[in-house]
Every structure is written in structure tokens, then in C-alpha cells.
Structure 1
Amino acid sequence: MTDAVKRGRPGYDRRGLLDAAVTVFNESGYDATSVAALAARLGLSKAALYHHFSSKEEILETALGDALDGLEGVLRQARAVAAGDRLAEVLQGAVRVLIEQLPAVTLLLRVRGNSDVERRALDRRRAFDQDVAAIVQAAQAEGAVRDDVDASVATRLLFGMVNSLVEWYRPTGPEGAEALARDVLTIALDGLRTR
């Protein structure tokens, strides 16, 4: 049986239950949300929740994996782009992932390493940051962006801006993913480009 077909009570499929659980984790905090409270909030029995996921940790791991898979996919796609355009491609792709997976990325940005699942997610996030810093370094070496800013610092600042979107971006707002990605590029790269 596929995840899309396998349904629990009251009509949640695995994806729907995951999305609802991530919303609860973001509202109440992962650590503060017990399985019993999660099941009650979703109108499920604990058995119905366990029909789809073996534990609260599996729900967290799946959600964090979705966010990280999306970000890592951006890096894979950027490899096919000319080196000078790679940083712009990564920034645009990261904005798109954030918007498409806003709840999961929000959850990712809130983990602190309190469990093995969180530590593994943080390791993957650090690897992503290191890969982006290498892209910044390559762009600096080509003269495409300023080289008077440390690549790791530039990466943190750029992704600080991108990650801040989880705090204020609303999908129902006036600006869609593509327009927002262009705005991020304008602000980020026009401040880094050489004159």
C-alpha cells in the first residue's frame, strides 16, 4: 500500500498527518509536544498516529529530511549551472524550497541538537553551509563577487536573510516565490558584486 492510499482515522494519510504534526511542532515546540498531546490535537488516538509513524522522532526525522533533501537538491541542480551563476542559483533555489516547504524548513531552523535526529539534521545543515561557502569562495576567485568578505561570513549573512523569511513570509501575501527569490538576489548580490 502506498502512503497516499494508506489512511488512518479520521482520514489522515501519512503526508497529511506529517503536515499537521509539523504545524503542531512549530506552534508548541517539538520538545514540548508529547505523542498524547499530538494525537489529541489531531483528533486521533495514539494507535492511529502509530499506524503511520513508529514514533514522534520518526515524524521529526521525516519532516527534517524533507527540508534538507530540498536544500541538498538545490546544490545538485546548481552543479549544472555555469560557475559564475552558481551562487545566484543556490540562493534562488533555497528561497523556493523555503516557500514550498515553509513548515518543514521552519522546524529545521528551530532544532537545537537535543536528540540524535536533531544532531544528524544539524550535521547535514552544516555540510550544506560548507558547500555554499565553497561556492562563494569560487565566485570570489573568479571575481564575480567581492573577496574582501570571508566566504563563511558571507554565507551566514546570505542565509540569515533567506532563513529570516520563515518569520515573516506568508504564502497568502502579495509576493510569490519567484518574485521573492529575485528580491533576495537583488539585495544579496548587488551588495556583494564587484564594481
Structure 2
Amino acid sequence: MEDLSRAAGITKSSFYHHVSGKEELLRAALERSLDGLFAILDERHATSGRPVDRLRYIVRRQVEVLQAELPYVTLLLRVRGNTETERWALERRRSFDAAIAELVREAAGAGQVRADVDPAVAAKLLSGTVNSIVEWYRPGRPGADALPEDVVRTVFEGVLARD
């Protein structure tokens, strides 16, 4: 907390005037990333249209949120459930994955994804693919603007050449 107050240019006691402690800061940071993800689910292209198109849109937007909120998303991906706040964040992440699994189910029912794909596994793989980006993505590098579309194309079309 002392480092944070110093970086903010205020005293430690002034810092505590605005926040109660580390747990409140953690929750605020986690809320920022989670709110960004859940907001996607309410966007027009995520709520209307063919299920597979909605799924593509959500994956693209997940990458965009990750890029825009990289430190906060990285923090979210590092929580392990050691505190009440971390458990809350993990539960919200599970809710997001459940919403994606439901959309995969809809897409399978519409014949837009393979029927033999387990929706829960697909949702975890989609999120895992996007989440792995925090390990190697660096803002400002060439290709950063194309990353969301590159991820969508690779996930939904694969890496194998077409015959």
C-alpha cells in the first residue's frame, strides 16, 4: 500500500481515506475486467443473429477487452480462490463460461457447430484460448490491431490448409 500511495503521489493515510485496503483494490480491479467481459454478452451482436455468429462476435470482443484491460484481465486470470473476493471472481468467471456453453449448445442445435462437441468443454477451450493471450501479447507490437480477427479466424476455421 505504501508503494501505491507513493506512486499516486499521496500519503498512505490519504490513500486509506479512499479505499479500505488491499481487498477493496483487488475487487475493484477484478470488477473492471469482469464487467468488461459481461458487458459483451449484452451487446447487440451478442444477443441477436445466428448463434455461431454471436459466438464469433463474443470471442472477438473478449480479445478486444483483454487488449484494452490487459493488467486487469491478467490479474483476474491469476486469482486462485484464496480470499472471498477471489472466490467471487472465480464464480463470475464460471458464470461467463456457462453463458458461452449455452451459446455453443444453441449453435449445435442449429447445426452450426458439430453436435459431438461438449458445450462446456468448447466454452472452456474458447476462453482458455483467449486467456492464454496474456502470456505473450504485448501492446503496440505489429499485428496487435488484427489480433481479435486473427484469433476468431484461427479458432473457427482452424490452422489446416483447405483442400
Per the normalisation by structure 1, the TM-score is 0.74
Which stretches of structure 1, 4 residues or more, deviate above 6 A after TM superposition? none
1:114 aligned counterpart, secondary structure = coil
2:134 matched to 1:163?
A: no
1:136 aligned counterpart, secondary structure = helix
Which of 95, 118, 133 is the equivalent residue of 1:127? 95
Which one-letter code corresponds to 2:19 in the other structure?
A: F
C-alpha deviations, 1:6-30, integer Å up to 9, x for none?
A: xxxxxxxxxxxxxxxxxxxxxxxxx
* CA distance in 1 between partners of 2:151 and 2:117 (Å): 19
C-alpha deviations, 1:42-94, integer Å up to 9, x for none?
A: 66432132133221111111110010001001111111344331110110110
Match of 1:75 in 2: 41
Match of 1:88 in 2: 56
Which one-letter code corresponds to 2:102 in the other structure?
A: A
* CA distance in 2 between partners of 1:138 and 1:82 (Å): 9
Match of 1:98 in 2: 66
Which of 35, 42, 48 is the equivalent residue of 2:14? 48
2:64 matched to 1:64?
A: no
Which one-letter code corresponds to 1:154 in the other structure?
A: A
* CA distance in 2 between partners of 1:102 and 1:150 (Å): 29
Matches within 5 A, 1:172-183: 172-177=140-145, 179-183=146-150
C-alpha deviations, 1:144-195, integer Å up to 9, x for none?
A: 1122221111111111110011111011111234x1111111111114xxxx
* CA distance in 1 between partners of 2:62 and 2:97 (Å): 12
* CA distance in 2 between partners of 1:168 and 1:52 (Å): 34
Per the normalisation by structure 2, the TM-score is 0.88
Root-mean-square deviation (CA, aligned residues, Å) is 1.7
Match of 1:20 in 2: none
* CA distance in 2 between partners of 1:40 and 1:110 (Å): 25
Which one-letter code corresponds to 1:60 in the other structure?
A: L
- Name structure 1 gaps, 5 residues minimum: 1-34
* CA distance in 2 between partners of 1:130 and 1:149 (Å): 15
Matches within 5 A, 1:182-193: 182-191=149-158
* CA distance in 2 between partners of 1:81 and 1:169 (Å): 31
How many correspondences in the alignment?
156
Q: Determine which structure has greater relative contact order: mean sequence separation of CA pairs < 8 Å that are 6+ residues apart, divided by chain length.
A: 2
* CA distance in 2 between partners of 1:84 and 1:100 (Å): 24
- Name structure 2 gaps, 5 residues minimum: 159-163
Q: Percent identity?
A: 48
* Alpha-carbon offset, residue 39 of structure 1: 3.7
